[in-house]
A and B are shown apart, each in its own frame.
Chain A
């Protein structure tokens, strides 16, 4: 039931782009993206809902393919501040539903 994230880790140079993927074997209602810096709390980035609605950070883009139960987070023109571990969380229903997080994707940005 835990979503699968890929890649597990990625190293970029500042200004490069990255895509982080999240897939589930179950039908989903929502996909949540969070970023966690080392030793800190996870910070909300975006929610993608079944039906196409998105809520979140203006500078972050993501997609949700309902047919494939896959979501992708797009990080363009990466900055040093983008470094951290990115987690996707998935929920099967709109309420009273667990939000289950993947194991994370560690992103390192080099100057």
Chain B
């Protein structure tokens, strides 16, 4: 158990809908990362937050947005969902925003868009 909690574990929704994925980082970690992993593919970086502020941004679609709240949990909002958005979404956390620190991954949320 990495200490990073993601909910829900599974989500099935229809095209055009909006969903929210939630991530609670490890206790004491200030940085949260979001990654998308399509079937048997690599980890695509979406966005990073540190202590409530956006720190780095990847190729995140405009239909996607994220935020980190004062209690440090983070939410990833996906709207106008398309079939191609079906994927495993991972959240990871680390103690700070540096890239010399290991990240701990949650178990992921598997999103299926039908």
Give residues in A with beta carbon < 8 Å to B: 2, 29-30, 32, 34, 40-44, 47, 49, 53, 55-56, 87, 89, 91, 93-104
Interface residues on B, range: 20 to 34
Q: How far is the CB of B46 from chain A (nearest CB, A)?
A: 10
Q: Once the chains bind, are A94 and B58 in contact (CB under 8 Å)? A: no
Q: Once the chains bind, are A98 and B98 in contact (CB under 8 Å)? A: no
Q: Which of B42, B98, B102, B106 makes the CB contact (< 8 A) with A101?
A: B42
Chain A: which residue is nearest B103 at the CB level?
A: A44
Residues of B within 8 A of A100 (CB): 45, 58
Residues of A within 8 A of B102 (CB): 32, 44, 47, 55-56
Q: Once the chains bind, are B33 and A99 in contact (CB under 8 Å)? A: yes
Q: Once the chains bind, are A41 and B100 in contact (CB under 8 Å)? A: no
Q: Once the chains bind, are B97 and A42 in contact (CB under 8 Å)? A: no
Residues of B within 8 A of A30 (CB): 99-100
Q: Once the chains bind, are B105 and A94 in contact (CB under 8 Å)? A: no
| Residues 78-114 of chain B, each 1 if its beta carbon lies under 8 Å from chain A, else 0 | 0000000000001010000111111111111000000
Q: Once the chains bind, are A41 and B107 in contact (CB under 8 Å)? A: yes
Q: Once the chains bind, are A103 and B99 in contact (CB under 8 Å)? A: no
Residues of B within 8 A of A89 (CB): 43
Q: Once the chains bind, are B103 and A99 in contact (CB under 8 Å)? A: yes
Residues of A within 8 A of B97 (CB): 95-96
Q: Once the chains bind, are A101 and B43 in contact (CB under 8 Å)? A: yes
Mind listing 14 A-B residue pairs with CB under 8 Å? A30-B100, A42-B92, A43-B105, A47-B101, A49-B100, A55-B102, A87-B42, A87-B43, A94-B98, A95-B99, A96-B97, A97-B56, A99-B33, A99-B45
Chain A: which residue is nearest B58 at the CB level?
A: A98
Scoring A41, A42, A102 by chain B CB atoms within 10 A of each residue's CB, the highest score goes to A41
The CA of A102 and the CA of B92, in the complex, are separated in Å by 17
Q: Which of B55, B56, B98, B106 makes the CB contact (< 8 A) with A41?
A: B106
Q: Given the known A-B contacts A41-B2, A103-B41, are A98 and B48 also in contact in the complex, defined by CB atoms under 8 Å?
A: yes
The CA of A47 and the CA of B56, in the complex, are separated in Å by 19
Q: Once the chains bind, are B48 and A94 in contact (CB under 8 Å)? A: no
The CA of A49 and the CA of B104, in the complex, are separated in Å by 18
